[in-house]
């Protein structure tokens, strides 16, 4: 029978070991521009420079998913981090897994709030983009450059089911 995984709220504490939660909460604040701007400073560890890599800004337009979301595979980027921030002012799903001898273990699912992004650390297993309910755009900062930067793994057996 398919294993059900209940989604949890995304927080820095819950996401330890997988990368960064990109959010203003708890961030270093700098008042700049003659007092007209607050800078929430340096919210993610961008790690893309190895092996001749360079940072890219792209926009991802994700088709929507709905609960229960079937998880049959995971991927990881061995050469660079990958940051996602929602532009649609909507929550989205973040699914990651610990590595177990070169394969993803049991998935963990988080609901990112509309004002939270994530930065998957280099080589962390994660599911491709999971927008919810409506087509949604995201701003992405990841790695460009030569090299094989994608590993994918299909789980054997029944899909995992992400439920609310």
User: Which residues bind to a copy of itself, rule: CB under 8 A?
Assistant: 22, 24, 27, 32-44, 46, 48-49, 54-63, 65, 83, 85, 87, 89, 115, 117, 119, 128-129, 137, 139-141, 144
Minimum CB separation of residue 101 from a copy of itself in Å reads: 25
**Closest CB to a copy of itself among 6 and 89?**
89
Distance CA 46, CA 130 (A): 21
**Closest CB to a copy of itself among 97 and 141?**
141
**Closest CB to a copy of itself among 87 and 163?**
87
**Closest CB to a copy of itself among 5 and 22?**
22
Q: Per DSSP, which regions of 7-107 are E strands? A: 8-9, 19-22, 28-32, 37-41, 54-62, 64-65, 69-71, 73-76, 82-86, 92-97, 99-100, 103-104
Helix/strand/coil for 147: coil
Distance CA 75, CA 150 (A): 7
Minimum CB separation of residue 163 from a copy of itself in Å reads: 20
**Closest CB to a copy of itself among 52 and 100?**
52
Per the listing, tokens 């049959």 go with 72
Candidates 56, 87, 82; CA nearest to 151 is 82
Minimum CB separation of residue 139 from a copy of itself in Å reads: 5
Candidates 72, 92, 102; CA nearest to 135 is 92
Minimum CB separation of residue 92 from a copy of itself in Å reads: 12
Query: How does strand 108-112 pair with strand 8-9?
Result: parallel
């Amino acid at each position: 029978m398919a294993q059900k995984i209940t989604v949890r709220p995304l927080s820095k504490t819950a996401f330890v070991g997988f990368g960064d939660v990109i959010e203003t909460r708890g961030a270093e604040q700098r008042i700049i521009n003659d007092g007209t701007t607050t800078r929430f400073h340096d919210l993610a560890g961008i790690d893309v420079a190895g092996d001749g890599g360079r940072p890219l800004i792209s926009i991802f337009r994700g088709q929507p998913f709905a609960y229960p979301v079937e998880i049959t595979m995971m991927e990881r980027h061995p050469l660079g981090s990958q940051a996602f921030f929602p532009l649609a002012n909507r929550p989205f799903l973040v699914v990651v897994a610990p590595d177990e001898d070169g394969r993803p273990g049991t998935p963990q699912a988080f609901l990112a709030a509309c004002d939270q992004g994530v930065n998957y650390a280099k080589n962390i297993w994660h599911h491709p983009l999971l927008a919810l309910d409506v087509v949604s755009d995201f701003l992405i900062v990841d790695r460009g450059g030569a090299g094989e930067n994608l590993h994918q793994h299909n789980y054997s057996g029944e899909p995992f089911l992400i439920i609310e």
